[in-house]
Amino acid sequence: MAIISNCTASITKDAALALKEGHLVTFPTETVYGFGADATNEKAVARIYEVKGRPTDHPLIVHISSIDLIDKWASEIPEYAIKLARAFWPGPMTLVLKRTELAKDFITGSQDTVSIRIPSHALASQLLKEFESLGAYGVAAPSANRFEKVSPTNSHAVEEELGNFLLENDHILDGGQSQIGIESTIIDCTQDIPIILRPGFMTSEMIESFLSIDLTKLDLESNKIMAPGLLEAHYSPNARVVLNGVPQQGDGFIALADVPTPTGTVRLASPKNNTEYAHELYDSLRLADVKGFTTVQVMPPIEQGIGVAINNRLIKAAFKKKCLSCKIIKIILSVFG
Ligand code: TXA
Ligand code: MG
């Protein structure tokens, strides 16, 4: 499956037709690349789960081109959600809303909610418009990486992740480097006030000041929404990621530009600020694997603005899964010990 660069109007039209016929299309968005299927086509959506190796109870975001289509997918939309949608779409924001009949169990992970986003990347927007002009309603798309791996922010990273699993009629559209570099802010809009389920470029401060509310007063324990997929381990390269550690000879190193490179380590990124940090983060984690590092030492940014989202991803990238053999040894010791 070759990458298609210079996506002209006729190429975008072909890709929209491919989606309508049940094929899969990976496409750029301003956050990360998405791996799309017709959100009403059960077979096509099933292939997304199969190719990604993702459990089917982890719901998918439905991407649409215009707010006019929101009622097709969502019902009982609160006033504050409409205000957020009008102000911040197209953009890096996903709203979780009560679903309509159109949003079937196979995209919602059988929950009674559906998540919706209008991306701002021009190519994503053109693709969605073409697709909708064929009588379709939206594209279900997770990030275009294998389950728990690093999200791709360019078409070559998509090919690395999924290339071996795509078929002849699937498409990889190239739209350059994703501008933001980390996934959208996910906001639960099924309660009296919005609740951030996944931090992103759109920060809690932006929501608070726009809606004139105080999100810190929230009782998070009372939030019953299920967000499967927002797991402890995620965004992980093959290399071990260590946060605020003591760098050793031969480690990879990621930090803001004003932090000096420790002796013996190899610099993988030197972002000048948090916006650049988000933009470069996933590429630098991928570079660690390309260069064959076993360990990457990361100095996280300050927990402020988009720094909150960067830290969220870094903590998950660094999460150590309990290995199966460790568990078996523990069981044996408890039986015979
Ligand atoms: O920036 C993004 O959001 C990218 C681009 C491609 O749009 N998409 C993306 O999708 O990150 P994905 O599937 O990799 O991550 C979406 C997360 C998953 O953890 C999923 O469980 C959660 O959103 N999610 C989706 N629908 C949900 C729902 N109805 N309720 C709660 N969580 C939901
Ligand atoms: Mg993802």
130 and 272 assigned to the same domain: no
Identify whether 179 is part of a domain.
Answer: yes
Q: Let me know whether 28 and 162 are in one domain.
A: yes
φ/ψ (deg, to 5) at 295: -135, 135
Ligand 1 atom with least separation from CA of 92? 1
Read off the pLDDT of each residue in 214-234 and give the average, rounded to a whole number.
65
Query: How far apart (Å, rounded) are the C-alpha atoms in residues 112 and 124?
Result: 27
Q: Contact, 151 vs 5, CB < 8 A?
A: no
The per-residue pLDDT for 255 is: 98
**Environment of ion ligand 2 (residues, CB < 5 A):** 143
Cα distance between residue 18 and residue 77, in whole Å: 32
Mean pLDDT of 16-40: 98
Q: What is the distance in A from the centroid of ligand 2 to the CA of 337?
A: 41
Residue 92, domain member (yes or no): yes
Residue nearest to atom 15 of ligand 1 (CA): 142
- Rounded Cα distance between 167 and 148, Å, is 22
Residues 272, 124: one domain? no
pTM of the full structure: 0.93
Residue 253 reports pLDDT greater than 70: yes
Domain that holds residue 244: 240-336
4: phi then psi, degrees, rounded to nearest 5: -105, 110
Q: Assess if residue 69 is contained within a domain.
A: yes
Give the residue whose CA is nearest to atom 29 of ligand 1: 114
Asked if residue 227 belongs to a domain, the reply is no
Residues 181 and 246 in one domain: no
Residue 30 falls inside a structural domain: yes
Instruction: Report residue 234's pLDDT band, with 50, 70 and 90 as the boundaries.
Output: confident
CA dihedral of residues 244, 247, 252, 258 (deg, nearest 10) = 60
Contact 74, 98 (CB under 8 A): yes
The two structure tokens encoding residue 171: 């498409």
- What CATH number has the domain bearing residue 267? 3.40.50.11030
Nearest-10 crossing angle of helices 9-20, 122-133: 50
pLDDT for the residue 144: 98
Predicted confidence band at 296 (pLDDT cuts at 50, 70, 90)? very high
Do residues 204 and 252 share a domain?
no
Residue-wise pLDDT for 64-78, tens only, equals 999 999 999 999 999
Ligand 1 binding pocket mutation candidate from 100, 183, 236, 306 (most atoms within 8 A of CB): 183
- Residues with CB under 6 Å of ligand 1 are 29, 31-32, 34, 58-61, 94, 96, 108, 111, 113-115, 117, 119, 141-143, 183-184, 186, 197, 225, 227-230
Give domain status of residue 218, yes or no: no
CATH number of residue 14's parent domain: 3.90.870.10
